[in-house]
C-alpha cells in the first residue's frame, strides 16, 4: 500500500473488536484488511490536516509577501520621486547659482563704474579746490600789490 510520510507520530492502534472478523476490501486487484485500511485512512486524515495547516501558513506567508511587495513598490516609487525632485532641485539650484553669479558680476561692474565716477568727481573737486586756492592767491597777490601801490 502507498504510504504517506507523517510529521506526527501515529497513536497506537486500538485493538480490533474480537467479535468482528477482519473485513476484506477489494480495489485495484488488492485485498486489504479493514484495520489496515482504517490505519491508512487515519494516516491520510492526519496528512490532510498537516497539509491544511501548511496551506493556511503558506496563504498567510503569501499575504505577508504581497504586503511587503506592495510596500517595496511604494518605497521604490518614493525613491524615484525623491530622485526626480532632487534632480529638479539640483537644476533649480544650478540655475539660481548662475543667476546669482550674473547678479554679482553686474554688481561688480556697477561698483567699478561707481568707483570710476567717484574718482572723476574727486578729481574735479581737487581741480576746483586748486582753482579756488589759486584764485585766492591771485586775489591776495593783487591785494598785496594794491596795498603796496597805495
58: in domain: yes
Residue 20: the pLDDT is 47
Residue with cell 591785494: 143
**φ and ψ at 7, to 5 degrees?**
-85, -25
84: in domain: yes
Helix boundaries (H) for the chain: 34-149
Torsion from C-alpha of 83, 85, 86, 89, nearest 10 degrees:
160
16: in domain: no
150: in domain: no
Residue 137: the pLDDT is 80
The rounded mean pLDDT for the chain is 83
Provide the pLDDT confidence category of residue 14 given band limits of 50, 70 and 90: low
- For the segment 51-76, the average pLDDT, to the nearest whole number, is 95
Residue 55 and residue 42 in contact, taking contact as beta carbons nearer than 8 Å: no
2: in domain: no
100: in domain: yes
Residue 42 and residue 3 in contact, taking contact as beta carbons nearer than 8 Å: no
pLDDT digits (tens, 9 = 90+) for 89-128: 999 999 999 999 999 999 999 999 999 999 999 999 999 9
Residue with cell 489496515: 36
What does the alpha-carbon distance between residue 4 and residue 6 come to, in Å, rounded to a whole number? 6
Q: How many domains does the chain have?
A: 1
Residue 103: the pLDDT is 96
The answer on pLDDT for 21 being more than 80 is: no
Residue 136: the pLDDT is 82
Residue with cell 596795498: 147
- Domain of 119, in residue numbers: 24-139
Residue 140: the pLDDT is 75
62: in domain: yes
**In the chain, pLDDT over 90 holds for what percent of residues?**
58
- For the segment 6-13, the average pLDDT, to the nearest whole number, is 59
The answer on pLDDT for 56 being more than 70 is: yes
pLDDT digits (tens, 9 = 90+) for 68-89: 999 999 999 999 999 989 988 9
What does the alpha-carbon distance between residue 33 and residue 36 come to, in Å, rounded to a whole number? 5
65: in domain: yes
Q: How many CA atoms lie within 13 A of 77 on its CB side?
A: 6
Amino acid at each position: 500500500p502507498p504510504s504517506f510520510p507523517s510529521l506526527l507520530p501515529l497513536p497506537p492502534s486500538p485493538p480490533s473488536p474480537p467479535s468482528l472478523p477482519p473485513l476484506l476490501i477489494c480495489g485495484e486487484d488488492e485485498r486489504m484488511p479493514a484495520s489496515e485500511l482504517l490505519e491508512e485512512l487515519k494516516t491520510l486524515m492526519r496528512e490532510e490536516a498537516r497539509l491544511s495547516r501548511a496551506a493556511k501558513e503558506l496563504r498567510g506567508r503569501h499575504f505577508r509577501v504581497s504586503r511587503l511587495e506592495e510596500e517595496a513598490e511604494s518605497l521604490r516609487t518614493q525613491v524615484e520621486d525623491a530622485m526626480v525632485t532632487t534632480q529638479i532641485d539640483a537644476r533649480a539650484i544650478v540655475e539660481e547659482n548662475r543667476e546669482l553669479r550674473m547678479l554679482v558680476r553686474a554688481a561688480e561692474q556697477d561698483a567699478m563704474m561707481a568707483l570710476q565716477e567717484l574718482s572723476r568727481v574727486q578729481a574735479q573737486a581737487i581741480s576746483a579746490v586748486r582753482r579756488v586756492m589759486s584764485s585766492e592767491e591771485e586775489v591776495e597777490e593783487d591785494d598785496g600789490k594794491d596795498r603796496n601801490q597805495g
